[in-house]
């Protein structure tokens, strides 16, 4: 028996159409799924960092970038901006802005490679009056207030402090960083000292 030519042509046409349709879907998905960086000032800002830049206030909050997007620890990325602010991104934490004295304290403690790790929140209001600020990180928190400056709180001291309603409770804001104390650790707060021993 001789195969029907029309049938073969139809199967081939259907296969070619399916391949073309799949290629069109892939091209469209790639174009939609891939964030295109845009130039802001002298540098491109793109991807999750661009999304955070726009969401958190854009130029009014950050100014222009002062560096290109740069590799950070553990496969993350960051970009620095004019107003003493950076946006950090890593797998599992998304992109978050860190600025001012909170950023300075975090930097003094080793940035993302230090005990705090990556930011997991943007800067948020703190205190009963909302005049303070904080960023939560993988390994703790940095709190700032106009009266106390910026200080990190982590570990068991942070657990005790948080159980007492953190800065809104009887201890208030941290007034210094954690230090060695009688074979353990201690940290001073507006309302007193919290100690910890192993």
Question: How confident is the model over 38-47, as pLDDT tens digits?
Answer: 999 999 999 9
**For residue 21, what are its two tokens?**
């349709």
Task: Identify whether 133 is part of a domain.
Answer: yes
Task: Identify whether 9 is part of a domain.
Answer: no
Task: Identify whether 10 is part of a domain.
Answer: no
- Listed in sequence order, the residues at least 6 apart from 94 whose beta carbon sits closer than 8 Å to its beta carbon are 48, 52
**For residue 56, what are its two tokens?**
């958190």
Give the predicted TM-score (pTM) of the model.
0.81
Q: What residues form DSSP beta bridges with 98?
A: 86
Task: Identify whether 17 is part of a domain.
Answer: no
Q: Report d(CA 78, CA 43) in Å as an integer.
A: 13
Task: Identify whether 84 is part of a domain.
Answer: yes
Contact call for residues 109 and 117 (beta carbons, < 8 A): no
Q: What residues form DSSP beta bridges with 87?
A: 79, 97
Q: Report d(CA 10, CA 52) in Å as an integer.
A: 50
Task: Identify whether 149 is part of a domain.
Answer: yes
Task: Identify whether 33 is part of a domain.
Answer: no
Range of the domain at 44: 38-196
- Listed in sequence order, the residues at least 6 apart from 194 whose beta carbon sits closer than 8 Å to its beta carbon are 157, 160, 161, 171, 186, 187
> Going residue by residue through the chain (198 aa), what tens digit of pLDDT does each one get?
333 323 333 333 334 333 333 333 333 333 333 458 999 999 999 999 999 999 999 999 999 999 999 999 999 999 999 999 999 999 999 999 999 999 999 999 999 999 999 999 999 999 999 999 999 999 999 999 999 999 999 999 999 999 999 999 999 999 999 999 999 999 999 999 999 999
Task: Identify whether 8 is part of a domain.
Answer: no
- Which region holds residue 149: left if phi is over 0, alpha if psi is between -120 and 50, else beta? left
Q: How many domains, the chain?
A: 1
**For residue 16, what are its two tokens?**
């070619």
Going by the DSSP 8-state scheme, the letter that residue 75 receives in this structure is: G
């Amino acid at each position: 028996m001789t195969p029907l030519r029309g049938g073969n042509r139809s199967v081939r046409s259907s296969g070619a159409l399916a391949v073309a349709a799949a290629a069109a879907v892939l091209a469209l998905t790639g174009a939609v799924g891939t964030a295109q960086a845009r130039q802001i000032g002298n540098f491109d800002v793109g991807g999750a960092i661009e999304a955070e830049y726009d969401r958190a206030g854009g130029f009014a909050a950050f100014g222009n970038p002062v560096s290109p997007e740069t590799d950070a620890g553990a496969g993350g990325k960051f970009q620095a901006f004019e107003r003493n602010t950076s946006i950090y991104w890593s797998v599992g934490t998304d992109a978050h802005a860190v600025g001012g004295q909170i950023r300075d304290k975090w930097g003094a403690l080793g940035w993302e490679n230090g005990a705090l790790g990556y930011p997991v929140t943007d800067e948020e209001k703190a205190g009963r009056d909302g005049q303070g600020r904080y960023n939560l990180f993988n390994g703790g928190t940095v709190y700032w207030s106009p009266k106390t400056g910026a200080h990190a709180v982590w570990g068991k001291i942070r657990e005790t402090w948080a159980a007492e309603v953190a800065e809104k409770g009887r201890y208030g804001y941290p007034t210094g960083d954690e230090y060695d104390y009688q074979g353990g650790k201690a940290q001073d707060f507006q309302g007193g000292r919290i100690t910890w021993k192993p």
